[in-house]
Amino acid sequence: MPENIVTYAEAIRILQREAEKLAPAETQELPLLETMGRVLAAPVLADRDQPPFPRSTRDGYACIATDLRSGNPLRITGQVRAGEAWQGPPLQSGEAIEIMTGAPVPTGADCVVMLEHVIVEASSLRLKEPRALQPGENIVPTGAEAKSGTVILPAGTRLTASRIAAAAACGYARPSVFRRPRIAILATGDELVSLEATPLPHQIRNSNSYSLAAQIQAAGAEPLLLPVARDSQADIVSAIGNAQACDLLLLSGGVSMGKYDFVEQALHHLGAEFFFTGAKIQPGRPVVFGRLPHQYFFGLPGNPVSTLVTFALFAQPLIAALSGEVSGGPKFVLARLAHEVRGKAGLTRFLPARVNYSIGGNQDAAEGATAALIPWQGSGDLASTASANGFAVLPNDGKTLPAGSLISILMI
Ligand code: AMP
Ligand code: MG
């Protein structure tokens, strides 16, 4: 079988090319609260102007800006609160109407003066000290946030808390979202035993099926854990047959050059097309990406950290595309290296790192958070990697990055 080992940048281009071909067909209408993390299949439109009336942003007094400048006291003629419409006549020069935050500003008023800035005596009002209010001050005009009918969230948007709020504000009790993609997980390896079994000294617990399932769930998709396949072409071929109803197949292990690595042969036997058979990355070099007649697949290297990294780099964005999300790639943040790090020419490296945030998060975004690499024993070392919250990206130019350099961190 011909090899095709690509750079990280080429791998991403190939992925992008394939992702653009994907469009999920099935949609569902779900109760709004069940749509967190789902992708909109239809846009959310403003069903009326937002705000629907000129909204006061302060507790205070609605009045006319030029009246305040005159310094003459204003006569308070009434009150309007949130949830009420002003029932009286339009406000006239010389008048003020007490108003609460969120209440509709009465016709005739052009500003709201804050409660804190006035003195009220015997239903008349004056400024505590001279200040020039502008017309429009402390008022959001009708439709200033969104005009009725405008698109607030386009189809292809993944719903977050703030977007669910926007949909709620427009009355979307049951938005239309895409079905979650179903992702099959097939771990391969003669050494693997289930979590329930007591491993013999030479056996290894199957942790990859669990890390992958967790990453799939975090990516907004549904994992299907298949029974572990043994290191034989026949066993892998028959196991792949059980994944046909899934939108994507993730295999772990068996993609290296070893004598008992049969995954590529099994895929080839089933008529797979291979887009790449390795990437110049570390960890994760043996990663394979391709297509079977009915679904895309990734052959992820079995070393647990390689599996984690290659999922985050390649499988997650493809799952985003299968979910209907527009440009849903992995998340990188910038951080400053706490110490010097040496790169390796020709390899893009993703090394377990701990990004330090204070309780206030990373407030000074320009400064960047700081990141320290975690000492580890290589891509089989789950115990050390478990204390990482990201992977530092070391470019493939082989340069040494001094302490304080800004680097990208792939967040996990
Ligand atoms: P392989 O990619 O099959 O050559 O496996 C590389 C390393 O990853 C070996 O040390 C395997 O024991 C380990 N490994 C493979 N699959 C899993 C798995 N599902 N869970 C944990 N470790 C695994
Ligand atoms: Mg193996």
Domain boundary among 260, 292, 322: 322
Average pLDDT of the residues in 270-279:
98
Same domain, 118 and 174: no
Average pLDDT of the residues in 270-296:
97
Residue 217 CA, distance from chain mean position: 13
Q: What is the pLDDT of residues 294-308, one digit of tens each?
A: 899 999 999 999 999
Percentage of the chain lying above the pLDDT 70 cut: 97
CA of 189 to the centre of ligand 1 (A): 7
Q: What is the pLDDT of residues 301-332, one digit of tens each?
A: 999 999 999 999 999 999 999 999 998 889 99
What type of residue sits at position 162? S
Domain boundary among 87, 112, 140: 140
Burial of 271 (0-12, 13-18, 19+ CB in 10 A): exposed
CA of 253 to the centre of ligand 1 (A): 5
Residue 369: pLDDT over 90: no
Is 345 a member of any domain? Answer: yes
Strand partners, 56: 139
Q: At 369, which helix (H) or strand (E)?
A: strand 369-373
Q: What is the pLDDT of residues 144-203, one digit of tens each?
A: 999 999 999 999 999 999 999 999 999 999 999 999 999 999 999 999 999 999 999 999
Confirm or reject: Cβ of 390 under 6 Å from ligand 1.
Answer: no
Domain containing residue 169: CATH number: 3.90.105.10
For 68, 94, 99, 106, 336, the CA distances from 81, given in Å and listed in that order, are 22, 21, 6, 11, 50
Residue 366: pLDDT over 80: no
Average pLDDT of the residues in 277-287:
98
Residue 137: pLDDT over 80: yes
Q: Which two tokens stand for residue 175?
A: 């938005």
Same domain, 198 and 315: yes
Average pLDDT of the residues in 217-245:
97
CA of 220 to the centre of ligand 1 (A): 25
Domain boundary among 153, 178, 203: 178
Count the neighbouring beta carbons within 10 Å of the beta carbon of residue 365. Answer: 10
Average pLDDT of the residues in 79-86:
96
Confirm or reject: Cβ of 353 under 6 Å from ligand 1.
Answer: no
Pocket test for ligand 1, best of 255, 288, 303 (most atoms within 8 A of CB): 303
CA of 187 to the centre of ligand 2 (A): 9
Count the neighbouring beta carbons within 10 Å of the beta carbon of residue 23. Answer: 10
Confirm or reject: Cβ of 301 under 6 Å from ligand 1.
Answer: yes
Same domain, 21 and 60: no
Three-state SS at 282: strand
The pLDDT value recorded for residue 292 is 97
Same domain, 198 and 296: yes
Same domain, 172 and 184: no
Locate all alpha helices (DSSP H) within 135-222, ordered by sequence: 161-169, 208-218
For 74, 118, 199, 276, the CA distances from 97, given in Å and listed in that order, are 9, 13, 78, 70
Which numbered atom of ligand 1 lies nearest the CA of 206? 20
Same domain, 166 and 199: no
115 φ, ψ (degrees, to nearest 5): -50, -40
Confirm or reject: Cβ of 192 under 6 Å from ligand 1.
Answer: yes
Average pLDDT of the residues in 79-100:
97
What type of residue sits at position 116? E
CB 373 within 8 A of CB 387: no
DSSP assignment of 293-357 equals SS-EEEEE-SSHHHHHHHIIIIIHHHHHHHTT-SS----EEEEEESS-EE-BTTBEEEEEEEEE-
Is 352 a member of any domain? Answer: yes
Same domain, 197 and 311: yes
Q: By C-alpha distance, which of 151, 77, 80 is closest to 120?
A: 77
Strand partners, 336: 370, 406
Confirm or reject: Cβ of 304 under 6 Å from ligand 1.
Answer: yes
- Domain tally, the chain: 4
- Ligand closest to CA 252: 1
Average pLDDT of the residues in 41-49:
98
The pLDDT value recorded for residue 329 is 87
- Ligand closest to CA 253: 1
Average pLDDT of the residues in 20-30:
93
Which numbered atom of ligand 1 lies nearest the CA of 187? 19
Per-chain mean pLDDT for the chain:
95
Q: Which residues contact 34 (CB under 8 A, 6 or more apart)?
A: none
CA angle 133, 138, 140 (to 5 degrees): 130
Which numbered atom of ligand 1 lies nearest the CA of 303? 8
Same domain, 296 and 350: no
Confirm or reject: Cβ of 148 under 6 Å from ligand 1.
Answer: no
Domain containing residue 201: CATH number: 3.40.980.10
Longest CA span, the chain: 94
Count the neighbouring beta carbons within 10 Å of the beta carbon of residue 359. Answer: 4
Confirm or reject: Cβ of 191 under 6 Å from ligand 1.
Answer: yes
CA of 147 to the centre of ligand 1 (A): 56
Confirm or reject: Cβ of 310 under 6 Å from ligand 1.
Answer: no
CA of 189 to the centre of ligand 2 (A): 4
Confirm or reject: Cβ of 379 under 6 Å from ligand 1.
Answer: no
Range of the domain at 166: 28-49+145-178
Q: How confident is the model at residue 25 (pLDDT cuts 50, 70, 90)?
A: confident
Which numbered atom of ligand 1 lies nearest the CA of 286? 2
Average pLDDT of the residues in 267-272:
97
Is 74 a member of any domain? Answer: yes
pTM of the model: 0.93
Q: How confident is the model at residue 270 (pLDDT cuts 50, 70, 90)?
A: very high
CB 143 within 8 A of CB 50: yes
Average pLDDT of the residues in 23-32:
94
**Atom 10 of ligand 1: nearest residue by CA position:** 303
Length of the chain: 412
Is 356 a member of any domain? Answer: yes
Q: At 75, which helix (H) or strand (E)?
A: strand 74-80
127 φ, ψ (degrees, to nearest 5): -70, 140
**Atom 17 of ligand 1: nearest residue by CA position:** 302
Same domain, 173 and 223: no
Same domain, 100 and 192: no
Same domain, 374 and 256: no
Residue with tokens 């749509």: 35
Same domain, 204 and 256: yes
- Ligand closest to CA 227: 1
Q: At 147, which helix (H) or strand (E)?
A: none
CA of 273 to the centre of ligand 1 (A): 24
295 φ, ψ (degrees, to nearest 5): -165, 160
Does the bond joining 283 to the residue before it have cis omega, within 30 degrees of 0? yes
Q: At 70, which helix (H) or strand (E)?
A: helix 65-70
Strand segments, DSSP code E, in 124-262 are 124-127, 139-140, 151-153, 176-178, 182-187, 192-193, 204-205, 222-225, 248-252
- Ligand closest to CA 288: 1
Is 185 a member of any domain? Answer: yes
Confirm or reject: Cβ of 299 under 6 Å from ligand 1.
Answer: no
Domain containing residue 67: CATH number: 2.170.190.11
Is 327 a member of any domain? Answer: no
End-to-end CA distance of the chain: 34
Is 261 a member of any domain? Answer: yes
